[in-house]
Amino acid sequence: MKRDISSKLFKAAKQVIPGGVNSPVRAFKNVDGDPFFVRRAMGCRIEDVDGNEMIDYVGTWGPAILGHAPECVVEAVQSAAKEGVSFGTPNPYEVDMAETIVDWVPSVEKVRMVNSGTEATMSAIRLARGFTGRDKVIKFVGCYHGHVDSLLVAAGSGALTHGKPDSAGVPASFAAETIILPYNDIEKVNAVFAEMGDQIAAVIVESYPANAGLIFPKEGYLQGLRDITAKHGAVFIFDEVMTGFRVAKGGVQELEGITPDLTAMGKVIGGGLPVGAFGGKAEIMDYLAPDGPVYQAGTLSGNPLAMAAGLAQLREMERQDGYAKLDQLGARLEAGVRALLQEKSLDYQFNRVGSMFCLFFTGEEIVDLDSVMTADTAAFRKFFTEMLEQGVYTAPSPYETGFISVSHGEAEIDRTLEAMSAALAKI
């Protein structure tokens, strides 16, 4: 594929933007070639500035659950904008959004809107600390919760892709407040609580870890986390920034029957605009300013365009029964991938829940970051390059999850499987 204009733009970008990108996951550092620049994205397709069209499984990293630029979202944004793009006062959309979230996610009794997933987890951690009067937080190896200081330790996503799961610039004293444990090992969590349970403010976990591929909890693991935190009065924080409103109306907590104390949300609820949210038990949420002692704020929080976009997307998902549709498309992709792996005698792992999926280039069962790291990264690189060459865009990292949207059709899924067949043959 010719990518001359993208190459020129990337050269210019590198002069004025660190690494040429505004978020490290966008860089093609661990795959061949340079990132492409997109000029438009419609439905399940994106078109780069050189005119190459691709079927997109990144979906702007999760938000585009209806596909790109769905009419309902574009119209909602346009009509909201005509009335003013930001008020800095309460507005009716915020109430509608909060009521919708409370309705869809049963563990959430009160919710506050923010502007990104990072803000959501950062604020939830501060709130948990303020509520409990304790400092320590347990997080799990390979889970990514945004670029919050105390959570950028043994992190996933771009931090993992670029080999820096522990970021420079995080004071050792902050990192010391974070206790890092392997995922899916409840005994280790119980042991830490037995030793210092009265110092632990919160346990934060990605509902299904999806920033180191896509990992599923072992039977009873999430309930184990729920039980031990309840026993010791620690706040159980579910990070559903990726999975919330994506795997089901009520997220993983609905699928797994788990009731966390606080939930971090983002991505899908913003309809592609910058949005995050955190919510949970009223008793805890009421610790927030202005009524409570934990300060948290935002100039643009609850922005009318962002709320209108998110609400339009959620309503349309409900109207179309989008989650059922996504599950059917996901099942079609999964059946196709499994048939290909069998046909080619590859023992790679394929994990999927609804519209989220990850192909791991390893025969090891995927239970934690160690098993994820057994994947053959050279094989992934070849696969990614060949898929792109065939017009299918997947995340440029073996540690990211793919997303199907409602606007992907069976034809696109089948076309993707053809591309996969050719790409796997090249490995």
CB 113 within 8 A of CB 86: no
Active site residue 267: yes
Question: Residue 246 interacts with ligand PMP (CB under 6 A)?
Answer: no
Residue among 19, 38, 61, 249 that touches ligand PMP (CB under 6 A): 61
CB 388 within 8 A of CB 1: yes
Question: Residue 146 interacts with ligand PMP (CB under 6 A)?
Answer: yes
Q: 57, 93, 144, 183: which one is catalytic? A: 144
Closest CA to 112 of 333, 322, 280, 361: 280
For the segment 356-415, give every residue that binds ligand PMP (CB under 6 A).
none
Least distance (Å) from ligand PMP to the CB of residue 301?
Answer: 14
Residue among 145, 246, 325, 352 that touches ligand PMP (CB under 6 A): 145
Report the number of secondary-structure helices (H) and strands (E) in the chain. 15, 14
Q: 239, 261, 368, 399: which one is catalytic? A: 239
Q: For residue 278, give both structure tokens.
A: 């955190």
Residue among 130, 266, 280, 304 that touches ligand PMP (CB under 6 A): 266
Question: Residue 150 interacts with ligand PMP (CB under 6 A)?
Answer: no
Grouping H, G, I as helix, E, B as strand and the rest as coil, residue 68 is strand
Question: Residue 263 interacts with ligand PMP (CB under 6 A)?
Answer: no
For the segment 151-170, give every residue that binds ligand PMP (CB under 6 A).
157
d(CA 25, CA 227) in angstroms, rounded, equals 35
Residue among 6, 100, 107, 121 that touches ligand PMP (CB under 6 A): 121
Q: For residue 25, give both structure tokens.
A: 């996951």
Q: Which stretch binds ligand PMP (CB under 6 A): 138-146, 223-231, 323-331, 389-397?
A: 138-146
Cα 33 from chain centroid? Answer: 25
Question: Residue 206 interacts with ligand PMP (CB under 6 A)?
Answer: yes
d(CA 148, CA 123) in angstroms, rounded, equals 10
Q: What are phi and psi of 2, to 5 degrees?
A: -80, 135
Q: For residue 339, give both structure tokens.
A: 């048939």
Question: Residue 113 interacts with ligand PMP (CB under 6 A)?
Answer: no
How much is the CA Rg of the chain, to the nearest whole Å? 21
Question: Residue 239 interacts with ligand PMP (CB under 6 A)?
Answer: yes
Question: Which amino acid appears at position 291 of this protein?
Answer: D
Cα 16 from chain centroid? Answer: 28
d(CA 289, CA 310) in angstroms, rounded, equals 25
Nearer to ligand PMP, 25 or 54 (CB): 25
Question: Residue 208 interacts with ligand PMP (CB under 6 A)?
Answer: no
Nearer to ligand PMP, 145 or 408 (CB): 145
Q: Which stretch binds ligand PMP (CB under 6 A): 14-22, 47-55, 114-122, 322-330?
A: 114-122
Question: Residue 123 interacts with ligand PMP (CB under 6 A)?
Answer: no
d(CA 198, CA 377) in angstroms, rounded, equals 42
Closest CA to 372 of 84, 160, 228: 160
How many positions of this chain bind ligand PMP (CB under 6 A)? Answer: 16
Q: 267, 287, 323, 393: which one is catalytic? A: 267
d(CA 222, CA 203) in angstroms, rounded, equals 11
Positive or negative: CA dihedral 357, 62, 14, 45: positive
Nearer to ligand PMP, 61 or 174 (CB): 61
Active site residue 239: yes
Question: Residue 242 interacts with ligand PMP (CB under 6 A)?
Answer: yes
Angle between helices 304-320 and 92-104 (to 10 degrees): 40
Nearer to ligand PMP, 77 or 242 (CB): 242
Residue among 6, 107, 123, 211 that touches ligand PMP (CB under 6 A): 211
Q: For residue 161, give both structure tokens.
A: 């892709």
Question: Residue 117 interacts with ligand PMP (CB under 6 A)?
Answer: yes
d(CA 249, CA 383) in angstroms, rounded, equals 33
Nearer to ligand PMP, 204 or 392 (CB): 204
Active site residue 393: no
Binding site for ligand PMP (CB under 6 A): 61, 116-118, 121, 144-146, 157, 206, 211, 239, 241-242, 266, 276
Q: Catalytic amino acids?
A: 144, 239, 267
